[in-house]
């Protein structure tokens, strides 16, 4: 089998052959036209030449009566158009017809060319010798010439010779007006049969060359610079699966992006020619081809050819040559290289070193799977032993060396064809140190993360203690001041019922603030330590939320707000701890009141969502910044942590809400737009059994909790 250079030479020869064929056919037509032009003598030119010759003869004669008579004879001859001199020189074949189309004269040269006797030939039978189709066309042209004698026409005719063969002539016909006023049609015939034979020989030569091209396995297509497919040989036709005139331009480049890109370089004159190897998809499967593209005929046409080199690329000899030329490089690679079919056929020194062997004899002939750790064998088979041929890279496995030691590796695999056998090429890297570095990096990142969390916790804890000291100090100072005022009232004997009531209320409210803060701290501690105990029972949650909402109406009105309770359902039962639900709702309502300016509204709704009951508390307050939303449910987290913040709070209320709900298989989340308001919603799973045993709920019994949760609001109102 020949190498790539010889095949490329074949492609060049075939391409040149097509170029020569096309150019020769073009040249033959040009030559034919030139010969026809040189051999066709215009009738009008002949007439002028006759007149010039006769006049020249007259001028040389003396002006005698005999001379005058001779001039008249010559003039008469000229009028009759005697072409005998031209006929003697075999320059013309003349046929004259009268105005009725009847043949009145045929030159002897014309008859001799056809093989007839000029002395015995019957002029009336001449029309019978002309092919019927050509005779019909001639008759129509003569009728047009009668109407317009100034015209002339040229017509190819087939005239039958004496042995019955048709000979092709080109006839040039003009009209002439005789002295008696009658028309005469004169036709000079030029034998073009020889030119047709030349064309036929070229056609046969072209068909012979086309047949030769069709016998080649090389796929060839010819196109023009307008992207029209002109011709393709049989091999190319089979690939396209259609005939020449129905092949679209994209089909000759297999609708392949790579081939199309190279074709455009040649088509747009970026380069004169490209030759490259590329894998194409055929009906028989993928094929490697040597592709040659070039423009010809002054860049008006192009040739693209495909030579199948699949077997060449797969030759064992080529692989061996590549192995020899790259063997030293492969041996020096730090990675292990394995060539594998059904067994290992080659391995480099890196493979020997990786597996702890003395030499490659301990590896060759064995299956690579023998060196894969048992737990990874299934994965290895699924990953590398399928039919897919695409390269695979960076697959982590564990190999076992000759002594049974486990080695963390990273495997790349590619496929190559040698002859008709597919070979797997494995590149294996020992990543033991890489994994150690990754573990070290992960440990370092985890340590840094923990450090950051610890720093964040310390920051939150510091802020919490700063806040809690403020929260403790403020009500204590108020209580202490109220007691001092009460002492003065007693000392000065200015005891009025209104004064005592006023200061007593202040003391109660601030004691409630302290009690709520202490309770929250205790409950958070219990939840964290796992000692918080719920007392869940079945309740109609709609009724519970409604009673709680109605209990805070007066507080809401005192802040210049309105509260609207609008449930979508009349009843829904949940299994919950009603005390914790009460604290949750009161906390969310307290926040809505605190952060909604006077004139705003608070909406409380209840609905079903799948298996959950959803309670929503929506306000038209100041909202929460987007970057602070995740913070509000964190322990000790607050949106405003400054000592000049507008609203009081310890930062553990919403965290406690979240913890209480999670203890009851519930959840809480918030949707908020800063400047527009917030919507807090919490979910609890509803129940369908045990409804008849549900307990009733009475908010008045727990009115102390309402006062406690809203103590911040009332104190803030009083301070304002």
- 182 with 324, same domain: the answer is no
Residues 493 and 578 in one domain: no
Could you tell me if 295 and 332 lie in one domain? no
Tokens 């192995």 identify what position? 323
504 and 607 co-located in one domain: no
Question: What's the CATH number where 584 sits?
Answer: 3.30.565.10
Return d(Cα 567, Cα 285) in angstroms, integer.
Answer: 68
User: Taking 80 as the threshold, does the pLDDT of residue 216 lie above it?
Assistant: no
- Report the pLDDT averaged over residues 189-213: 71
Domain boundary among 381, 402, 430: 430
Residues 382 and 400 in one domain: yes
pLDDT above 80: residue 249: yes
Q: Are residues 379 and 418 in the same domain?
A: yes
Statement: residue 665 has pLDDT above 90: yes
Q: For strand 229-232 and strand 273-282, is the pairing parallel, antiparallel, or unpaired?
A: unpaired
pLDDT for position 68: 43
The answer to the question of residue 117 being in a domain is yes
Q: What's the total number of domains in the chain?
A: 5
Q: Is 268 exposed, middle or buried (0-12, 13-18, 19+ CB in 10 A)?
A: exposed
Task: Tell me: pLDDT of 625 over 60.
Answer: yes
Q: What is the residue whose two structure tokens read 């949760």?
A: 709
**pLDDT value for 490:** 54
Contact assessment for residue 315 and residue 393, using Cβ atoms and an 8 Å cutoff: no
Rounded average pLDDT over 21-33? 52
**What Cα–Cα distance (Å) separates residue 80 from each residue in 105, 140, 175, 661?**
11, 26, 13, 130
Please give the pLDDT value at position 65. Answer: 47
Contact between 270 and 301 under an 8 Å Cβ cutoff? The reply is no
Highest mean pLDDT among 61-75, 148-162, 231-245: 148-162
Query: Does position 613 have pLDDT exceeding 90, yes or no?
Result: yes
Distance of CA 348 to the CA centre of its chain: 41
> What's the pLDDT score for residue 291?
92
CA dihedral 683, 689, 693, 694 (to 10 degrees): 20
Average pLDDT over residues 167-185: 86
**Token code pair at residue 88:** 């003697």
Token pair for residue 326?
A: 């790259």
Residue 207 lies in a domain: no
| Helix 711-719 vs helix 497-529: crossing angle, to nearest 10 | 140
* Residue 538: strand pairing partners: 575
Domain boundary among 285, 313, 341: 313
Mean pLDDT of 294-318: 83
Tell whether 285 and 154 lie within a shared domain: no
Q: Which of 53-67, 476-490, 574-588 has the highest mean pLDDT?
A: 574-588
DSSP characters over 472-517:
HHHHHHHHHHHHHHHHHHHHTT---HHHHHHHHHHHHHHHHHHHHH
pTM confidence score = 0.37
Please tell me whether residue 85 adopts helix, strand or coil conformation: helix
Whether residue 556 is contained in a domain is answered as yes
- Same domain for 257 and 181? no
pLDDT at 421: 81
Report which of 384, 388, 387 is spatially closest to residue 397, judged by C-alpha positions.
384
Does 32 fall in a domain?
no
The most confident of the ranges 72-81, 280-289, 322-331, 668-677 is 668-677
Rounded-to-integer distance, Cα 708 and Cα 470, Å: 18
| C-alpha span between 310 and 333 (Å, rounded) | 29
Any domain includes 658: yes
Q: pLDDT band for 46, please (50, 70, 90 cuts).
A: very low
> What is residue 565's predicted lDDT score, i.e. its pLDDT?
95
Q: What is the pLDDT of residue 242?
A: 56
Least confident of 71-80, 148-157, 190-199, 537-546: 71-80
Q: What are phi and psi of 47, to 5 degrees?
A: -60, -45
If asked whether residues 683 and 552 sit together in one domain, one would say yes
How far is residue 377's CA from residue 382's CA, in Å, rounded to a whole number? Answer: 9
Domain boundary among 271, 295, 313: 313
Give the distance, in angstroms, between the CA of residue 675 and the centroid of all CA atoms in the same chain. 44
pLDDT value of position 5 = 47
As a whole number, mean pLDDT of residues 300-315 equals 85
468 in a structural domain: yes
Instruction: Decide which of 694 and 584 is more confident.
Output: 584
The pLDDT value given to residue 228: 87
pLDDT band for position 364 (cuts 50, 70, 90): very high
In a domain, 407, yes or no: yes
CATH of the domain at 415: 3.30.450.20
Q: Give me the helices (H) in 132-285, please.
A: 132-147, 193-214, 234-240, 249-252, 257-267
Identify whether the C-beta of residue 213 lies closer than 8 Å to the C-beta of residue 17.
Answer: yes
Question: What's the pLDDT tens digit per position in 65-118?
Answer: 444 444 344 434 443 445 555 555 555 688 999 988 899 989 888 888 889 988
pLDDT at 481: 72
> Quick one: pLDDT band at residue 685, thresholds 50, 70, 90?
very high
**Which residue did the predictor score with more confidence, 58 or 533?**
533
pLDDT above 80 for 473: no
DSSP state of 695: B
| pLDDT tens per residue, range 156-172 | 899 999 999 998 888 99
Token representation of residue 337: 């290289």
What's the whole-number average pLDDT of the chain?
Answer: 78
Is 550 among the domain residues? yes
| 17, 59: one domain | no
pLDDT at 429 over 70: yes
- Host domain of residue 398: 316-430
Pick 682 or 516 by higher pLDDT. 682
Whole-angstrom Cα distance, residue 406 to residue 411? 15
The reported pLDDT for the residue numbered 64 is 43
Nearest to 335 by CA among 433, 401, 400, 430: 430
pLDDT at 629: 86
Give me the mean pLDDT over the 273-279 stretch.
92
CA distances from 41 to 26, 151, 174, 189 (A): 25, 17, 12, 9
The region of weakest confidence among 155-164, 415-424, 616-625 is 415-424
pLDDT for res 80: 44
118 with 140, same domain?
yes
| Confidence category of residue 2, pLDDT binned at 50, 70, 90 | very low
pLDDT, tens only, 195-206: 666 676 667 666
Instruction: Tell me: do 558 and 698 sit in the same domain.
Output: yes
Once rounded to an integer, what is the mean pLDDT over residues 140-158? 87
**What is the sign of the dihedral through the CA atoms of 440, 445, 448 and 454?**
negative
**Could you tell me if residue 366 is left (phi over 0), alpha (psi between -120 and 50 degrees) or otherwise beta?**
beta
Measure the CA–CA gap between 371 and 361, rounded to whole angstroms.
14
Task: Please give the share of the chain, as a percent, with pLDDT higher than 70.
Answer: 71
Instruction: Supply the pLDDT for residue 636.
Output: 58
Q: Report whether pLDDT(386) > 70.
A: yes
CA–CA distance, 421 with 405 (Å, rounded to integer) = 33
């Amino acid at each position: 089998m020949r190498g790539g250079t010889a095949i490329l030479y074949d492609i060049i020869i075939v391409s040149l052959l097509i170029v020569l064929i096309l150019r020769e056919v073009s040249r033959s037509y040009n030559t034919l036209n030139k010969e026809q032009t040189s051999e066709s003598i215009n009738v009008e030119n002949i007439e002028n030449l006759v007149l010039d010759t006769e006049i020249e003869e007259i001028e040389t004669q003396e002006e005698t009566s005999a001379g005058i008579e001779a001039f008249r004879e010559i003039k008469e001859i000229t009028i009759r158009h005697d072409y005998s001199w031209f006929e003697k020189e075999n320059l013309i074949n003349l046929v004259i017809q009268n105005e009725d189309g009847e043949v009145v004269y045929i030159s002897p040269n014309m008859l001799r060319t056809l093989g007839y006797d000029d002395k015995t030939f019957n002029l009336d039978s001449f029309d019978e010798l002309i092919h019927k189709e050509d005779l019909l066309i001639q008759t129509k042209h003569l009728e047009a010439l009668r109407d317009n004698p100034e015209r002339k026409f040229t017509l190819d005719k087939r005239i039958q010779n004496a042995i019955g063969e048709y000979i092709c002539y080109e006839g040039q016909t003009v009209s002439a007006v005789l002295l008696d006023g009658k028309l005469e049609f004169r036709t000079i015939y030029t034998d073009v049969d020889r030119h047709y034979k030349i064309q036929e020989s070229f056609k046969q030569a072209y068909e012979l060359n086309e047949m030769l091209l069709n016998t080649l396995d090389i796929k060839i297509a010819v196109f023009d610079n307008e992207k029209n497919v002109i011709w393709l040989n049989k091999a190319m036709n089979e690939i396209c699966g259609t005939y020449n005139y129905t092949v679209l331009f994209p089909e000759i480049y297999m609708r392949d992006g790579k081939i199309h890109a190279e074709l455009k370089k040649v088509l747009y004159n970026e380069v004169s020619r490209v030759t490259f190897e590329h894998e194409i998809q055929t009906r028989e499967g993928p094929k490697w081809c040597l592709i040659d593209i070039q423009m010809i005929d002054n860049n008006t046409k192009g040739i693209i050819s495909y030579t199948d080199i699949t077997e060449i690329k797969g030759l064992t000899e080529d692989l061996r040559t590549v192995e020899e030329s790259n063997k030293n490089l492969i041996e020096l690679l730090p990675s292990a290289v394995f060539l594998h079919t059904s067994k290992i056929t080659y391995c480099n020194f890196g493979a020997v070193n990786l597996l702890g062997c003395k030499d490659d004899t301990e590896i060759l002939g064995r299956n690579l799977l023998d060196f894969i750790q048992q737990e990874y064998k299934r994965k290895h088979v699924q990953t590398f032993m399928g039919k897919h041929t695409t390269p695979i890279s960076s697959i982590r496995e564990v190999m076992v060396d000759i002594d049974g030691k486990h080695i963390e590796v990273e495997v790349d695999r590619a496929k190559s064809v040698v002859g008709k056998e597919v070979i797997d090429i494995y590149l294996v890297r020992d990543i033991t140190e890489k994994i150690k570095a990754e573990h070290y990096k992960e440990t370092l990142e985890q340590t840094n993360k923990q450090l950051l969390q610890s720093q964040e916790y310390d920051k939150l804890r510091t802020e919490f203690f700063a806040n809690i000291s403020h929260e403790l100090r403020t009500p204590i100072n108020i209580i202490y001041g109220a007691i001092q005022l009460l002492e003065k009232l007693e000392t000065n004997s200015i005891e009025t019922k209104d004064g005592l009531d006023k200061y007593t209320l202040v003391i109660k409210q601030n004691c409630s603030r302290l009690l709520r803060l202490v309770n929250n701290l205790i409950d958070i501690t219990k939840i964290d330590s796992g000692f918080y105990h719920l007392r869940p029972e079945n309740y109609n949650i709609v009724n519970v939320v409604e009673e709680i909402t109605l209990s805070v109406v007066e507080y809401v009105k005192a802040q210049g707000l309105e509260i609207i309770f609008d449930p979508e359902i009349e009843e829904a039962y949940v299994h919950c701890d009603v005390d914790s639900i009460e604290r949750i709702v009161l906390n969310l309502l307290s926040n809505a009141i605190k952060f909604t300016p006077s004139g705003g509204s608070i909406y409380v709704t209840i609905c079903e969502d799948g298996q959950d009951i959803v309670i929503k508390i929506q306000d038209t307050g100041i909202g929460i910044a987007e970057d602070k939303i995740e913070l509000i449910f964190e322990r000790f987290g607050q949106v405003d942590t400054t000592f000049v913040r507008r609203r009081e709070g310890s930062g553990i209320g919403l965290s406690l809400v979240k913890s209480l709900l999670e203890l009851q298989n519930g959840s809480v989340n918030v949707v908020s737009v800063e400047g527009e308001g917030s919507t807090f919603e919490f979910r609890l799973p509803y129940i369908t059994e045990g409804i008849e045993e549900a307990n009733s709920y009475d908010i008045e019994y727990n009115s102390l909790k309402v006062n406690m949760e809203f103590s911040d609001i009332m104190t803030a109102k009083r301070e304002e």
